[in-house]
Amino acid sequence: MKELEYPFDSDYLLSKKKRIKKELLASDTKFIDKKIAVLGGGTTANIILMLELFLLNNGIRPEFYESEYNKYYEDAVFPNPELEEFAPDIIYVCTSNRNITSYPNLAMDRAAVDELLDAQYAKFETIWKTLAEKYNCPIIQNNFEMPLFRLLGNRDAYDYRGSMNFITRLNQRMYDYAMATENFYICDINYISADYGLKEWSDPFYWYMYKYAMCVPAIPSLSFNVANIIKSLLGKNKKGFVLDLDNTLWGGVIGDDGVDGIVLGPEEAEGQAYTEFQRYLKAHQQLGIILNVDSKNDMENAIAGINHPDSEFQEKDFISIKANWDPKDKNFADIASELTLLPESLVFVDDNPAERHIVTEQLKGVCAPELDNVVHYIQTIDRSGFFEATNISADDLKRNEMYQENAARAKLQSSFTDYGQYLDSLEMQAEIDSFAPVYMARIAQLTNKSNQFNLTTKRFTQTEIEETAADSNYVTLYGKLIDKFGDNGVVTVAIGHVDGDACDIELWLMSCRVLKRDMEFAMMDELVARLKARGVKELRGHYLPTAKNKMVKNFYGDMGFTLVEEKEDGSSDWTLDLSGYENQNKHIKMN
C-alpha cells in the first residue's frame, strides 16, 4: 500500500489507521502469522497500532502482547504466566532515555561514574538474558536517543560526567552485546530521532501528557523502523534494483544530448549529485544487492553512458541490461524472469512518475520510491528500508557473483541442443548433509525467502531451525551445489518428521537460482537413503498452494509419489513406498 511506503504522511496514518488496517486485511495477501511481545518503558498503544499496519503491508499478520505501562523489566525478569502462555516469536523492548534512572553528577569521580554505568547497563542485560533463556526468540532493543538538554553544553559530549557522554557509553555497551549475541538486534532510535529532529522528537509535552517518549507524530517513524527489522528477520527484504538511466543515473537524455552532454561527474553540482547516487547504489553490491537496468534507450547509448569516464559503473556491474523501446513493465518482468525472482523482489528506481505508475500497476507488489530531485534520491531510497541488514550471510556477500555465474551458465546452455549434455558439462557437485551450525542463519533465511519452489511455505526463525536440528524426531538436510562456474552456496533445504516407520516432509524448498539443475533428485536420493537407514518405510509429501508456488503443484507426482488426496483448496497429500525407490540423480556428483 503506497500510503505505508516512505515518505509517508504520519498524521494521515494515525488518523486513518483503522480504515487502512481493514483494507490490508481484506487484501488477497497470504500472511505470515507471528506473535510479537512489546515490553514498553512508556506508553506503547499507538506504537503497536502503527507497527501492525507496517507489518501487514509486508505480509506479516501480528498478534501482540503489550506490557502494562513501564512494566518492561517486571514482565521480562519475573515469572509471567500470561507472557509465557503467549509464547512470543519476537520480543521488542521499547525503551528510551526516559528509562535511564540515574545520571552522573559533577561531584562523581570517574570510578563512581563507571560504577553507575555498569549498574544501568546490567539492568538491561538482565532483561535480555532472561528473555533469551525463557523464550529463545529474536529480541529487538531500542538504544538511547540523545538527551533533550546538555548541562555542560558542548563539553557534555566528552566529559565523563556529561549526560551525552553517559548515553553514548551505554549505547556502545549495547552494540558490543549485539555484535556478540545471536538473535539480538538494535533499533537505532538515536539515529531515527536525529533524522526526525531531536527537538521535535523529544517534545516533553507528549511525555507529561501521555507518557510517550517521543512526540506522537514521530510514532510512525519508529514503528516503520521496527517493522523493517522484523520483515528482514522473516526474509521479506528486497533483493535488487531495476534502474532507469536518463535523469536517474545521470542528468539529461543521452539519446538527445550524446554521451558528452549528460550531466555526471565533479564539474558541476548536479553532476556531483548523480555521481554520489551511483556510488551509493554500487555500494549495495557489498550486501549482495543485484543491479539491473530497464531503460527506454538504444543499447549502444545505454552502454556508452554506463561507461562514461565519470561513471561509477561498468557494464559488468549489472546482471541484466534492458535498453530498448519496449514497455518498462515488460522489461521489468523479463528481468525478474531471467533472474528467477518474483518481480516484487526488485525495487524500481525511475525519475518518471508515469513509468513508476505503470510498473507498479502492472506488477503488483513492486515498490517504486518517489523521486523528485537527484539531491534527495539517496535519502528517499535509504530511508525506505528495502534492504535492512539483520543477518549478513556469506551467501549474501556472494550473491552478485552467483548471478553473474548464472548468466554464464545461461550462455553455455544456449550452445547445447541436448539438455542432459548441458547439465553434464556443468560438472556439478553437491554437498548434502544434516543442518550444520555454520549454515543455520542461511537456512533460516531461505525458509523465509523461497516462494516458488516451496512445497509448504512454512517459515522458521533461526532459533526454530536450531531446535528442529537438535530434535531426533526430525531428519534435516541442506544442499550446496558447486559447478565449474562457482559455488551456488546453500540452495535447498528439507525437513522430515519421523513417526514410527513413516516420515512426513514438513518443508522442502529450493532457491530459484538452481531450478532445473536436478538438485531435487540428489536431495531425494539422500533423504530416502537416510530414512531407510532409520527403518522408515513410507515417505509422505504435502503440497500447500500459495499464489507463488504453483510450479511445484505436481512435484511429488513427478518424483514418483502416489496421490492420496487432493482437496478443494488445491492442497494435496502424497505417499511413496521406499522399498521400491531407485535413485534418480544422474547429473550431479556427491561430495
| DSSP states of 305-354 | HHT-TT-S--GGG-SEEEEESS-HHHHHHHHHHHTT--GGGEEEE-S-HH
Q: Are strands 538-543 and 502-510 parallel, antiparallel or unpaired?
A: parallel
Count CB neighbours of 33 within 10 A: 10
The superfamily in CATH containing domain 2-234 is SGNH hydrolase (3.40.50.1110)
Asked whether the whole model's pTM tops 0.75, one would answer yes
Q: What is the pLDDT of residue 450?
A: 62
pLDDT band at residue 206 under the 50/70/90 scheme: very high
Count CB neighbours of 559 within 10 A: 16
Mean pLDDT (the chain, rounded): 93
Helix (H) or strand (E) holding 572: strand 572-577
Percent of residues, the chain, with pLDDT higher than 70: 98
Helical segments of 345-432, H only = 353-362, 377-383, 394-397, 399-413, 419-425
With cell 496514518, the residue in question is 13
Task: Give the bridge partners for 565, in sequence order.
Answer: 573
Mean pLDDT to the nearest integer, 74-98: 97
Q: Are strands 474-483 and 428-433 parallel, antiparallel or unpaired?
A: antiparallel
pLDDT band at residue 459 under the 50/70/90 scheme: confident
Give domain 240-384's CATH architecture. Answer: 3-Layer(aba) Sandwich (3.40)
551-564 confidence digits (pLDDT tens): 889 999 999 999 99
For residue 359, give the C-alpha cell. Answer: 510498473
Measured CA to CA, the distance from residue 13 to residue 217 in angstroms comes to: 10
Mean pLDDT to the nearest integer, 241-246: 97
- Say if residues 511 and 393 touch (Cβ distance below 8 Å): no
- What per-residue string of b and e applies to 488-519 under the rule 16 or more CB within 10 Å gives b? bbbbbbbbbbbeeebbebbbbbbbbbbeebbb
Distance of CA 289 to the CA centre of its chain: 11
Question: Which CATH number is associated with domain 426-590?
Answer: 3.40.630.30
Max avg pLDDT among 67-81, 417-431, 502-516: 67-81
- Which of these ranges, 67-81, 383-397, 427-441, 462-476, has the smallest mean pLDDT? 383-397
Q: What is the pLDDT of residue 414?
A: 67
- Say if residues 508 and 498 touch (Cβ distance below 8 Å): no
pLDDT band at residue 219 under the 50/70/90 scheme: very high
- Which of these ranges, 148-157, 220-229, 488-497, has the smallest mean pLDDT? 488-497
Q: Is the pLDDT of residue 39 over 70?
A: yes
- Say if residues 525 and 583 touch (Cβ distance below 8 Å): yes
- Which of these ranges, 147-156, 408-417, 445-454, has the smallest mean pLDDT? 408-417
Mean pLDDT to the nearest integer, 510-516: 78
Mean pLDDT to the nearest integer, 311-331: 94
Task: Locate CATH 3.40.50.1000 in the chain.
Answer: 240-384
Q: What is the pLDDT of residue 494?
A: 95
Mean pLDDT to the nearest integer, 36-45: 97
Q: What is the pLDDT of residue 411?
A: 67
For residue 301, give the C-alpha cell. Answer: 547509448
Q: Is the pLDDT of residue 590 over 80?
A: yes
